[in-house]
Structure 1
Amino acid sequence: MSVHDKLENLKNIIKNRNSAAVAFSGGVDSTFLLKVSAEVLGDKVVAITAHSSTYPERELREAKEFAKQNSIRHRVIISEELDVEGFSDNPVNRCYLCKNELYEKIKAVADEEGMEYIFEGSNVDDLGDFRPGMQAVREHGVISPLKEAQLTKEEIRTLSKEMGLNTWDKQAFACLSSRFPYGEKITKERLQMIDRAEQFLLDLGFKQVRVRFHKDIARIEVTQDSFEKIIEPATREKIYTEFKNIGFMYTALDLKGYRTGSMNEGLSQEEKK
């Protein structure tokens, strides 16, 4: 099936649901899903963005701007994961705890707005990683239209570019809590450290970055084609100095480079069940 056939399939999937609240983070997938949903369903769509300590301000600003530019009704809700019992202890099922609370809150807003369904933006590539949050998706009856249409991340980027969405080449984003090894305490202060560190790297021109938290060590992940740039003496010194100011005693570069879910690499198959 061609990418454009998949797009038509996606539109039919959306059309068959009369109205929807779209869980909208402002990332590549949810922006594409929201845009297509709005084109198909018109004013029978509302975007819902959850704001919390794990969600950078830049992402919220971009989400608000997109909804405004496209005249899409947009609700911002507070969903503070750190207030969820057990979340800050960072257990292996941390994502489930977060998504379970999130979809409860989104459901309440969807009901207020008279929306029949809730959409979320997972794509078929997400099936290959450990994602306990998908259990909450199933439990709350949330629909994943991009998965139903069998769209991959690369196809979503391609279609986003054709549609003129400036998110087509946006870096992949995951909640800041994913920067911590399981069992490592998550606090607002530590999340702010990660946010500041990643924003600094983005401001230096690095496009796809992760800063993983290992107590007094910051482990930087960038794409391998960025290695030459990051180890330039002047750049290296800037990063080291800024990260020291942020609160990291040591700064390390991960030689494997950027990849999603690197904190899952140490989990056993039993822990992933």
Structure 2
Amino acid sequence: MEDVTFGQDQTRVEDVLGAFGPFERVGVAYSGGVDSATLLALAARALGPDRVVAVLGVSPSLAAAERAGAHDVAAFIGVPVVEVRTHEGDNPAYQRNGPDRCFHCKDELFTRIDGSVATVHRLDVIAYGENADDARRPDRPGSRAASEHAVLRPLADAGLDKAAVRRIARVLELPCADKPAAPCLASRIPHFEEVSPEKLAQVEAAESALRALGFVDCRVRHHGEMARVELLVEDIPRAVAPGLREDINAALRSAGFRFVTIDLAGIQSGAFTLPLVAGSAGVAASHG
């Protein structure tokens, strides 16, 4: 592979590369987002792409556009994708949608990998793309699932935060380097309201319609008959302007919502989970 340097992140990148050194074959739990894609690319640099497998969990909580994009990015890196059908939606604990929902989702993914993919593809270890910012947040129960399944987290262990991961992705010229965060569709449903395939499909259709209208970074929070739309703050004036406002309203009504509202706070990462695990709604950060 072409030699590149990573500037201020060089030492930490070397730590990530070194984490893969003891293994013959590695699987990366992969979504196509910047964290998992950067980890996948670094694993390929450390071992060679023929010794790395990208494992993509597929369920109703993964939007079709995200699935297709993940394949495109993996093809750019040169690593094969293995899709694993996950069934977290059959788990009553996941359906209940408590603050630990992500634990049940990741536990299902890692269990499926342990039960089939690791053996078939002769994988010595699985890694996933938790970064150092994620490791400090209280609303990431998926981290517990990773620990229980002995999954590696080389980015977090090396101290690479989100900003550093994006810098590395740009050096590697990954197509997703500046891709907005895209949490799973279930994150749009308030906690303790049941997650169902119908709700997930409704959210996916609504967000797809917003992207078609030019809103690249968006969330549609599902509040029964009402859609609460989160956009970048700078996009809100455009969204409420005559013409586009009517288009948004019509598109989201077509997705099955009766009422459509735009949240003036903009995009809020962890909007449903952080108030429950941190005790304050004010700690939700933008752009997560």
Q: Which residue of 2 aligns with 1:103?
A: 110
Ranges in structure 2 where 5+ consecutive residues have no aligned partner: 1-6, 280-288
How far apart in 2 are the matches of 1:80 and 1:136?
A: 16
Q: Which residue of 2 aligns with 1:185?
A: 194
For residue 249 of structure 1, the aligned residue among 241, 258, 271 is 258
The within-5 A match list for 1:206-245 is 206-245=215-254
Query: One-letter code of the match for 2:209?
Result: F
Deviations 1:201-245, CA, capped at 9 Å, x for gaps: 112222221111111111111111112221111111100011111
For residue 3 of structure 1, the aligned residue among 5, 9, 15 is 9
Q: 1:100 to 1:58 in 2, by over 3 A?
A: same
Displacement of 1:268 in angstroms is 5.2
Displacement of 1:255 in angstroms is 1.4
Displacement of 1:269 in angstroms is 4.8
Deviations 1:70-122, CA, capped at 9 Å, x for gaps: 33122111002211233222122211111111101112311221111100001
Displacement of 1:259 in angstroms is 2.0
How far apart in 1 are the matches of 2:84 and 2:274?
A: 32
Q: TM-score with structure 1 length normalisation?
A: 0.94
How far apart in 1 are the matches of 2:158 and 2:17?
A: 9
Query: One-letter code of the match for 1:41?
Result: L
Displacement of 1:265 in angstroms is 3.9
For residue 122 of structure 2, the aligned residue among 114, 125, 139 is 114
> 237-246 or 9-18, which moves further after superposition?
9-18
Q: Which residue of 2 aligns with 1:54?
A: 61
Query: One-letter code of the match for 1:115?
Result: L
How far apart in 1 are the matches of 2:274 and 2:159?
A: 26
RMSD over equivalenced CA pairs, Å? 1.6
Displacement of 1:183 in angstroms is 0.8
> 40-49 or 13-22, which moves further after superposition?
13-22
Ranges in structure 1 where 5+ consecutive residues have no aligned partner: none
Is 1:124 the equivalent of 2:132?
Answer: yes
Q: 1:35 to 1:269 in 2, by over 3 A?
A: closer
Q: Which residue of 1 aligns with 2:282?
A: none
Q: Secondary structure of the residue that 1:75 maps to in structure 2?
A: strand
How far apart in 1 are the matches of 2:138 and 2:182?
A: 15
Contact 1:53 1:80 in 2 (8 A): no
Is 1:153 the equivalent of 2:159?
Answer: no
> 208-217 or 260-269, which moves further after superposition?
260-269
Query: One-letter code of the match for 2:236?
Result: F
How far apart in 1 are the matches of 2:61 and 2:97?
A: 13
For residue 32 of structure 1, the aligned residue among 10, 27, 38 is 38
How far apart in 2 are the matches of 1:231 and 1:111?
A: 53
Contact 1:13 1:149 in 2 (8 A): no
Contact 2:138 2:274 in 1 (8 A): no
> 222-231 or 13-22, which moves further after superposition?
13-22
Is 1:195 the equivalent of 2:201?
Answer: no
Q: Which residue of 1 aligns with 2:4?
A: none
How far apart in 2 are the matches of 1:14 and 1:36?
A: 9
Deviations 1:10-44, CA, capped at 9 Å, x for gaps: 21222244431100111111111111101111122
Is 1:14 the equivalent of 2:23?
Answer: no
Q: TM-score with structure 2 length normalisation?
A: 0.89
Q: Which residue of 2 aligns with 1:94?
A: 101
